[in-house]
Every structure is written in structure tokens, then in C-alpha cells.
């Protein structure tokens, strides 16, 4: 008789001695009915609001749930104010909305691209208080707390960004252009923090921004030119 046949037979047997049966090696043999009873007991504990766990001794342990925020509060839309390129926007977003989506779809700032949408390529890079972040995985509600957001459209008001953009074309730093918004923003952040970077520092500053067209060398030249045009005074 197979093991599954044995289990089926045990389920049909309603005698109370089934739990006491010993299987191979002296291990207790548990029927499907007993397993289901135990599972349902555990589910009931979870169902009343706690996490039911069994200790090694078999006793049920209870871990109280956190009750500071109700589920309906957690999923409620939020009204936030984003400061983007020096301009203030008040809008309502879902708590799960990522910054790149709000920039592109709510504010129509489509210069920020979304090539991978999963924190792998860096093409969605924007600056928050001069720090480069991947906007595809940065919650809009987190960005709406008074921070200054700078996107590739902000060259009219940001001198460093404008200087980087001016250096990009003569250096032939762009091919298809898909990665370049993120690359320009990373270069801008670098020059805001380091006005005269070395080549290894430029490479480190632009790390994490992938370019399928392979424009890496020309981008280094563009950043060097921008640093020179800024006169090392940033
Ligand atoms: S789109 Fe954000 S890292 Fe690729
Ligand atoms: S210029 Fe085409 S991906 Fe970078």
C-alpha cells in the first residue's frame, strides 16, 4: 500500500487513536484530518487580529498587530506640495505613486525618463536637495515635504544644470538620448558637490547611469568642459 493510500485510510478511520500511531522510525504519523484541524485552529488565531505561531513545544504564541494606522488610512490619497525647479505644485496622489510618474503624468515634465522602472538603469535620476535619486523608486509623498526637486527641465533656473547642458552638445555626449536626462542630472549633482572632479571622480559620480549607446567617454569630456566653464567656483 502506498503512503498516500495509508493516509486516505486514516482519514476514513474516525477512531481517536489515530494521532498516537507511530510511523517509520518511531515518528508520530499525522493524518490529513488532524493536519486540517491544526491548520484551522492556527487560522482562527490569525483571523482575530494576531499572528499565531507555534513554539517548539507546540504552544501557540501571539504577536499583537500594530494598530497605529488603519488600513483605510494607509491607502487614502494624500495632498502634497512638490517644489520642482523652483515652482510649487499642490496635487493629490496615491501613497504608492512614484515620483517619476507624478512628474511625467501629473506635471507633464516628461524630460525625466523611465527606461527600466525598477532601479537598474539610472535614466530616471533627478536631484532632491542636490542629491541624485532614482525617481522610479522614490515615493512622491516622500518628496513632498519641502525638498527642492530639480529635473532636466530646470536649466532655466539652475546655473550648474544649464552649464552642463550647454557642454553636452559640443562634446557629442548623446546618441539616442534615452539615458541622457539621468546622466545630465548625475553630472549636475557631481559638480554641485565637487567643482573640479578628476576622471575617476567623474566615473564614480556617474556610476549607476547605464548607456546602451556607449557614450561614456564623451560624457566624461562634457563634464570636464562644464567644470571648466563653471570656473571651479561652484
Ligand atoms: S527607470 Fe529608474 S532606474 Fe531605470
Ligand atoms: S545615448 Fe542612447 S542609451 Fe545613452
3-state secondary structure the chain: CCHHHHHHHHHHCCCCCHHHCECHHHCECCCHHHHHHHHHHHHHHHHCCCEEEECCCCCEEEECCCCCCCHHHHCCCEEEEEEECCEEEEEEECCCCEHHHHHHHHCCCCCCCCCCCCCCCCCCEEEECCEEEEHHHCEHHHHCEEEEEECHHHHHCCHHHHHHHHHHCCCCCCCCCCCHHHHHHHHHHHHHHCCCCCHHHHHHHCCCCCCCCCCHHHHHHHHHHHHHHHCCCC
Q: What is the mean pLDDT of the chain?
A: 80
Instruction: Using the Cα atoms of residue 157, residue 161, residue 165 and residue 166 in order, give the sign of their dihedral.
Output: positive
35, pLDDT greater than 70? no
What is the number of the ligand 1 atom nearest to the C-alpha of 121? 4
Q: So where are the chain's domains?
A: 3-63, 77-230
The pLDDT score that the predictor gives to residue 66 is 59
Ligand 2 midpoint to CA 183 (Å): 9
226 and 192 Cβ atoms separated by less than 8 Å = no
Average pLDDT over residues 151-177: 96
Ligand 2 midpoint to CA 126 (Å): 17
CATH fold, domain 77-230, is Ubiquitin-like (UB roll) (3.10.20)
Question: pTM for this structure?
Answer: 0.71
**Which of the four pLDDT bands, split at 50, 70 and 90, describes residue 67?**
low
Per residue in 166-199, pLDDT (tens digit) is 999 999 999 999 999 999 999 999 999 999 999 9
CA atoms of 86 and 148, how far apart (whole Å): 7
Nearest CA to ligand 2 atom 4: 211
Ligand 1 proximity of 78 Cβ (cutoff 6 Å): no
Q: Are strands 60-63 and 78-84 parallel, antiparallel or unpaired?
A: unpaired
Q: Which residue has the higher pLDDT, 45 or 210?
A: 210
Ligand 1 proximity of 122 Cβ (cutoff 6 Å): yes
CA atoms of 167 and 205, how far apart (whole Å): 17
User: What would you measure as the largest C-alpha separation in the chain, in angstroms?
Assistant: 90
Ligand 2 proximity of 178 Cβ (cutoff 6 Å): yes
Amino acid at each position: 500500500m502506498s503512503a498516500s493510500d495509508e493516509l486516505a485510510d486514516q482519514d476514513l478511520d474516525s477512531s481517536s487513536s489515530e494521532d498516537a500511531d507511530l510511523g517509520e522510525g518511531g515518528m508520530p504519523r499525522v493524518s490529513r484530518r488532524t493536519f486540517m484541524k491544526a491548520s484551522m485552529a492556527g487560522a482562527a488565531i490569525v483571523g482575530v487580529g494576531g499572528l499565531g505561531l507555534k513554539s517548539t513545544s507546540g504552544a501557540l504564541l501571539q504577536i499583537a498587530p500594530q494598530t497605529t494606522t488603519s488600513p483605510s488610512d494607509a491607502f487614502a490619497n494624500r495632498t502634497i506640495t512638490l517644489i520642482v525647479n523652483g515652482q510649487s505644485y499642490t496635487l493629490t496622489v496615491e501613497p504608492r505613486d512614484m515620483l517619476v510618474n507624478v512628474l511625467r503624468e501629473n506635471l507633464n515634465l516628461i524630460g525625466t525618463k523611465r527606461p527600466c522602472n525598477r532601479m537598474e538603469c539610472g535614466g530616471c535620476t533627478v536631484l532632491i536637495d542636490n542629491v541624485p535619486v532614482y525617481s522610479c523608486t522614490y515615493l512622491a509623498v516622500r518628496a513632498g515635504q519641502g525638498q527642492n526637486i530639480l529635473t532636466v527641465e530646470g536649466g532655466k533656473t539652475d546655473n550648474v544644470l544649464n552649464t552642463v547642458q550647454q557642454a553636452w552638445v559640443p562634446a557629442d555626449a548623446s546618441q539616442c538620448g534615452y539615458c541622457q536626462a539621468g546622466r545630465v542630472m548625475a553630472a549636475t549633482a557631481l559638480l554641485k558637490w565637487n567643482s573640479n572632479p578628476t576622471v575617476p571622480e567623474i566615473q564614480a559620480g556617474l556610476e549607476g547611469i547605464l548607456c546602451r549607446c556607449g557614450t561614456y567617454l564623451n560624457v566624461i569630456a562634457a563634464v570636464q568642459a562644464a567644470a571648466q566653464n563653471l570656473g571651479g567656483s561652484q
